Amino acid sequence: MKNHEILFSNILTIENKDNFYNFYMKDGTMIEQNIKNATKFVDPSCASIFNMLFLDSTKILNENGQTRLLHLLNSLIFLKDDEKIIKIERLSNEKDCNLIQNLYNILKFDISYKATLSSENKFIIIVIEMLLGNDQSISERLIDKGSSLFSKYLKFVVVLAFINNQENSDIYNSSWIYWNKQYNNGKNVKCDLYEIIKINLKEELNKIKKRNNVYVRKMKLGIDGINWIKLLGIRNWETPYNKYYYLPKDIKFSSNQITSAFEFLKSFDDFSYQKLLEDENYALSLIKESKEEGLKEGRKEGREEGKEEGLKEGRKEGKSEGRKEGRENYQIDTLIKLFNNEVDNMDKLLDIIIDDDTEIKYQKIKSKFKNDEEKSQQFVNWLGKKKRISFS
């Protein structure tokens, strides 16, 4: 197979051995290239690079961040003809996302958009995250984000999260819709609020290596969707060399948008890439310090006033006795909110939201429901079956 015929979609596995890369193809052949001849590029899962990849100002091969993002979303999660996104507009001021001008802000910033679907020009809100961490707070944070964006814009919200770590719970690699009941002309009807979509890049790449089909929102991905997963999840597929990743020279992609994304990823010189990583690590350290200061204030508010933000931060970081009450209050409030909305997968969500060593006191639950004795008892019965309730 000649270099100019190497298709990205035909590569199954990549192996790095002594400055040589072996690319194993679908047809059983293997292509070996010296690292000096292969094409090197940077990791798209770095927070700053992932954000810049979808900035409109990043224009390559007549494709900008908007056209790349439209292709990404329509290849991965909007596969039906009547659900295609035909227009997308970034909600936040792009200058605030410019890494070079304001690195600190971009790392705190979620990529959020107003999108127009092809069906009846329906508007929705989309927020996208690339996540490298893996802890129980992630699911809570995504749920909170979907809820807050719906409250702000009163439009259906899609929260798309790319995950880069293995997770034992099967709910972690799924899509589900949160909804509430509202009255319309005197009738109680279902009202969709927001949808959480998690794409575990590591898991999906394992399926691709085994030639298994990949599904998102119960829909089978085509070649473009699979190629986006392979490119964005490169850290789960290939061992880097000196912080760079490599593909065969003259690699060919399935679309101009993915080719454009790859051209951007290989455009960094050594100096700018190294500086970017150093600046990003410095910015992350500032954010960590900011969070620690916020935790101190959050614990105080959680104990003194029971404010939601204080409780949330207490839930994430709290291990000391002084934050125990704040954590439990937030956990109970989150569970009751989902229980009242009759959310699916409650049993699985319970293990995500509640700490392993937490037992909720019966009287505390009763006080939360106040006058709704029947609903209170239903919640107590369900939680009691999971042995997460204390009647002492």
Residues 6+ apart with CB under 8 A from 9: 223, 226, 227, 253, 254
- Give the model's confidence band at 109: pLDDT under 50 very low, under 70 low, under 90 confident, else very high: very low
- Per-residue pLDDT for 169 more than 80? no
Query: How much is the pLDDT for 95?
Result: 42
**Contact in structure between 360 and 333 (CB atoms under 8 Å):** no
Q: CA 170 to CA 141: how far, in whole Å?
A: 18
Binning the chain into helix, strand and coil, the percentages to the nearest 5 are 45, 25, 30
- Give the model's confidence band at 168: pLDDT under 50 very low, under 70 low, under 90 confident, else very high: very low
Q: CA 200 to CA 282: how far, in whole Å?
A: 27
- Give the model's confidence band at 275: pLDDT under 50 very low, under 70 low, under 90 confident, else very high: confident
- Per-residue pLDDT for 9 more than 90? yes
Query: How much is the pLDDT for 309?
Result: 55
For the ranges 32-41, 100-109, 313-322, 359-368, the lowest mean pLDDT is seen at: 100-109
- Per-residue pLDDT for 132 more than 50? yes
- Per-residue pLDDT for 274 more than 70? yes
What integer is the mean pLDDT of 164-184?
A: 57
Strand spans (E) along the chain: 11-17, 20-25, 30-34, 39-41, 85-90, 111-117, 123-131, 157-163, 175-184, 187-200, 215-216, 219-220, 245-247, 360-361, 389-390
For the ranges 67-76, 104-113, 132-141, 159-168, the lowest mean pLDDT is seen at: 104-113
Closest Cα partner for 44 from 294, 293, 245? Answer: 245
Query: How much is the pLDDT for 365?
Result: 76
Query: How much is the pLDDT for 188?
Result: 55
Query: pLDDT by residue (tens digit) across 212-244?
Result: 999 998 899 999 999 999 999 999 999 998 899
Query: How much is the pLDDT for 94?
Result: 44
* Cross-strand bridge partners of residue 40: 246
- Give the model's confidence band at 300: pLDDT under 50 very low, under 70 low, under 90 confident, else very high: low
- Per-residue pLDDT for 330 more than 60? yes
**What proportion of the chain, given as a percentage, has pLDDT over 90?**
28
Top-confidence residue, 48 or 130 = 130
- Per-residue pLDDT for 360 more than 70? yes
- Give the model's confidence band at 285: pLDDT under 50 very low, under 70 low, under 90 confident, else very high: low
Mean pLDDT of the chain: 77
- Per-residue pLDDT for 246 more than 70? yes
Query: How much is the pLDDT for 368?
Result: 77
- Per-residue pLDDT for 134 more than 70? no
Q: CA 303 to CA 323: how far, in whole Å?
A: 7
Top-confidence residue, 4 or 343 = 343
What integer is the mean pLDDT of 27-48?
A: 91
Query: pLDDT by residue (tens digit) across 73-97?
Result: 999 999 888 788 998 888 865 444 4
